[in-house]
Chain A
Amino acid sequence: MNTADQYLKAIYLIQEVEDGPASTGDVADALEVSPASANEMIGKLEGRGLAAHEKYKGVDLTDEGIVRARDALSNYCIIERFLANVLDVEEFRVEAQSLEAVIDDTVAERLDRLIDRSEQCPDCFDADTDACALLELEEAGAD
């Protein structure tokens, strides 16, 4: 997943929680980058028609930005579920975060063939906990 897609995913999730624009500070915090870096990338996303930034309010994704953010989120869910269900990784959330930058859409789509992902995906992703809610339920059920 490239850097732009990671930004789009982060903005999308913040907007889900805030139910409004995402502040640059929150985006920077989510991605563990400086506000200056976040500002620069948000400007690039705006230039590509993927986001709209308004001073003192924050950034909103455009319809096209939302589509890309949801694709990025789906790929992230694939990585999380693949780690948990196929490789049996206990700390699959932490590891998914560390691997998402290296796993491309093409690879994620291929790994998707090995897992059972809900048709709801990525709507089942819980922005508050930064994790798939259904994967949590399956774990609880397995205990």
Chain B
Amino acid sequence: MSLGQAVASDRQLARLLQIGVVLEEMVEASAHHHVREREQALDEPVAALLEEAATESARHRERLEALIAELDADSVAYEEIQTLVEAQYASDDEFDDVLYDQLCNEETAYKFYDDLLGALGATDDDPVDDSLADETAFSIDRDRLVATLREIRAEEADGVETVTDTMERRA
């Protein structure tokens, strides 16, 4: 068991970035599912929000995949996650509320990147914690890694805000 939150190796980092890819793929697959299944029922603002969420997640996924490739690891095929997400929707009618489902997706992604940055000693926008940097010699540039994760986290925070605003306007 590993106590504490340090990410200390390429392998551990690559695995966490793979989890990030899966979370992004879940957002993409969910958004596509809702748009496809409810095309007529969705009003224009919600459909546009879902399309934008899917596009943004695909962009995040590509940025994570670039980092994973530099760590000499493989990404996770979108089709595999899409199949699992579709199976979940088919077996569970819990996700009728499209906006709430989307909010959960965005919040989960934000929390994941926030925790990962915390484990890298880079939660705030301050310079990276050098004491942790000494313990974590990744084969990719640490500053670029942190900058990428911070940018993605900020976009997830915006996403949470957008969905929340949309939900409140419709309340």
A110–B1 touching, CB < 8 Å: no
Interface size class of B (residues with CB under 8 A): 20 to 34
Interface size class of A (residues with CB under 8 A): 20 to 34
Given known pairs A111-B22, A114-B22, A114-B85, the reply for A3 and B115 (CB within 8 Å) is no
Given known pairs A110-B104, A113-B88, the reply for A87 and B3 (CB within 8 Å) is no
B85–A107 touching, CB < 8 Å: no
- Any chain A CB within 8 A of the CB of B108? yes
A89–B4 touching, CB < 8 Å: no
B15–A6 touching, CB < 8 Å: no
What CA separation (Å) do A117 and B16 show in the bound complex? 21
B16–A32 touching, CB < 8 Å: no
Not counting A89-B15, A99-B15, A114-B22, a sample of 6 additional A-B residue pairs whose C-beta atoms are within 8 angstroms of each other reads A86-B22, A101-B5, A106-B108, A110-B26, A110-B105, A113-B88
Offer 23 A-B interface pairs, CB within 8 angstroms, sorted by A. Answer: A6-B1, A31-B3, A32-B1, A87-B18, A87-B22, A97-B2, A99-B15, A99-B19, A100-B1, A101-B3, A101-B5, A101-B119, A103-B19, A104-B112, A106-B107, A106-B111, A106-B112, A109-B108, A110-B23, A110-B105, A113-B84, A114-B22, A114-B26
Interface residues of A (CB under 8 A from B): 3, 6, 10, 30-33, 83, 86-87, 89, 95, 97-104, 106-107, 109-111, 113-114
